[in-house]
């Protein structure tokens, strides 16, 4: 644990959980969408719902979707900035189970019409966990380039994916595997030490057992 894990992030307040963490949830959700947000429905849960407005959680989530970071001085004005940019935002209440009380579900529509749903929790100190992507269990921090791969659970699927990454010398930092039943739908979540080249992502999408590849890039414009 480092000194910044104790002190907390450099941020626009008042709360690292309700404000800085909320900004990061919105920011990572926007990166996962991969294009500017045109419309978003944000459903709040638990403490985010009960006390979030007083802590600026609603404005923080919108600020993140607008690609602001926790130390951005424009965070308090995010509603106005979104309106001026033609971004439609609505809020509601999330009915969730077995999640952190500081949780939001964000349903987004991008400028091209692409859609995505992201559920994220604020863990304190500005740290977050992405819990679901498009209803798929995920559980990653958003601090590393991350692949979320939905696939059919058949023998050799994991080997095919890891071999492609090895070929391009992309090192896997953590790997999580989920499935609903043997031979059914499965999910791989791979946090990597390097960015995953677009060439490899396209190869992954062409694998017959792969249904969808979602990628979190931390490189601007990737």
User: In this predicted model, what pLDDT tens digit does every residue of 76-95 receive, in sequence order?
Assistant: 999 999 999 999 999 999 98
> Alpha-carbon distance 147 to 127, whole Å?
19
> Which string of b and e fits 153-192 if b means at least 16 CB within 10 Å?
beeebbebbeebbeeeebebeeeeeeeeeeeeebbbbbbb
**In the chain, count of helices (H) and strands (E)?**
7, 10
Average pLDDT over residues 137-143: 91
Q: Identify the pLDDT of residue 220.
A: 63
What pLDDT digit, counting tens, does each position of 185-205 carry? 899 999 999 999 999 999 999
Contact 190, 149 (CB under 8 A): yes
What pLDDT digit, counting tens, does each position of 23-60 carry? 999 999 999 998 999 999 999 998 888 887 777 899 99
Confidence tier at 8 by pLDDT (50, 70, 90) = very low
> Alpha-carbon distance 163 to 145, whole Å?
17
Domains by residue range for the chain, with CATH: 3-140 (3.30.1330.90), 146-216 (3.30.70.260)
């Amino acid at each position: 644990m480092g000194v910044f894990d104790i002190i907390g992030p450099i941020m626009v307040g008042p709360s690292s959980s309700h404000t800085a963490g909320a900004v990061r949830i919105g920011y990572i959700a926007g990166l996962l969408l991969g294009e500017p947000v045109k419309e978003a429905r944000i459903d709040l849960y638990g403490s985010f719902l009960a006390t979030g407005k007083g802590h600026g959680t609603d404005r923080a989530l919108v600020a993140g979707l607008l690609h602001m970071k926790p130390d951005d001085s424009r965070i308090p004005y995010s509603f106005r900035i979104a309106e001026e940019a033609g971004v439609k935002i609505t809020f509601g209440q999330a009915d969730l189970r077995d999640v952190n009380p500081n949780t939001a579900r964000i349903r987004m529509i991008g400028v091209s019409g692409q859609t995505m749903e992201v559920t994220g929790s604020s863990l304190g100190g500005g740290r977050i966990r992405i819990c679901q992507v498009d209803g798929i269990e995920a559980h990653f921090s958003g601090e590393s380039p991350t692949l979320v791969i939905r696939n059919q659970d058949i023998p050799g699927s994991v080997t095919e994916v890891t071999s492609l990454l090895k070929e391009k010398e992309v090192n896997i930092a953590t790997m999580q595997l989920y499935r609903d039943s043997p031979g059914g739908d499965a999910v791989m979540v791979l946090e990597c030490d390097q960015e995953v080249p677009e060439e490899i992502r396209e190869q992954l999408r062409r694998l017959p057992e792969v249904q969808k590849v979602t990628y979190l890039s931390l490189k601007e414009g990737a």
